[in-house]
């Protein structure tokens, strides 16, 4: 992380985990930040937490849980369109939609879907900030 970064280290840690598909770990980092934070980005962090859990559930084939969190995280994150905390929220939500399209568009009560790793969103800050090195447990 660059020393001039104005971002909370937990925000950056969550992004680093998220971009390595460590969705549970990203959730933990962001939840720790969210629980301490009382400012204008609180609902943004809550949306990121739900985004991570959505993809965690999707990866574990819990489509019902993923679908519920998909709509929840969108509701939070849409409040911060088009851009917030260095994140292009518009692009992130579009990538999430492409990743989850199969179950989002399904009319079935319990649709089946398999996550396509090529479509999993990533979060890139603008301007770019060096993210911390994180290790995923096996």
pLDDT tens figures, 108-120? 888 889 999 999 9
Question: Does the residue 125 lie in any domain?
Answer: no
Supply 11's token pair.
Answer: 């925000």
Specify the CATH number for the domain of residue 55: 1.10.3450.10
Pick from 44, 57, 31: nearest CA to 87 = 44
Classified as helix, coil or strand, 88 is: strand
pLDDT tens per residue, range 13-56 = 999 999 999 999 999 999 999 999 999 999 999 999 999 999 99
Strand partners for 125: 87
Q: What is the pLDDT of residue 110?
A: 82
Q: Is 125 left (phi over 0), alpha (psi -120 to 50) or beta?
A: beta
Question: Does the residue 134 lie in any domain?
Answer: no
Name the residue range of residue 22's domain.
Answer: 9-119
Residue 75 CB partners (closer than 8 Å, separation 6+): 47
Cα–Cα distance, 100 to 105 (Å, whole number)? 9
Question: Does the residue 16 lie in any domain?
Answer: yes
The number of beta carbons lying within 10 Å of the beta carbon of residue 37 is 17
Question: Does the residue 130 lie in any domain?
Answer: no
Question: Does the residue 62 lie in any domain?
Answer: yes
Q: What is the DSSP letter of 127?
A: S
How many domains are there within the chain?
A: 1
């Amino acid at each position: 992380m660059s020393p001039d970064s104005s971002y909370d280290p937990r925000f950056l840690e969550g992004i680093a985990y998220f971009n390595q598909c460590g969705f549970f770990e990203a959730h933990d980092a962001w939840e720790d930040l969210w629980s301490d934070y009382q400012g204008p980005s609180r609902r943004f962090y809550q949306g990121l937490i739900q985004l991570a859990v959505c993809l965690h559930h999707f990866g574990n084939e819990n489509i019902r849980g993923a679908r519920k969190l998909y709509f929840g995280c969108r509701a939070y994150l849409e409040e911060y369109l088009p851009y917030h905390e260095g994140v292009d929220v518009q692009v992130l939500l579009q990538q999430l939609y492409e990743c989850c399209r199969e179950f989002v568009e399904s009319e079935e009560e319990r649709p089946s879907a398999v996550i396509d790793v090529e479509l999993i969103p990533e979060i890139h800050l603008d301007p770019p900030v060096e993210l911390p090195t994180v290790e995923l447990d096996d």
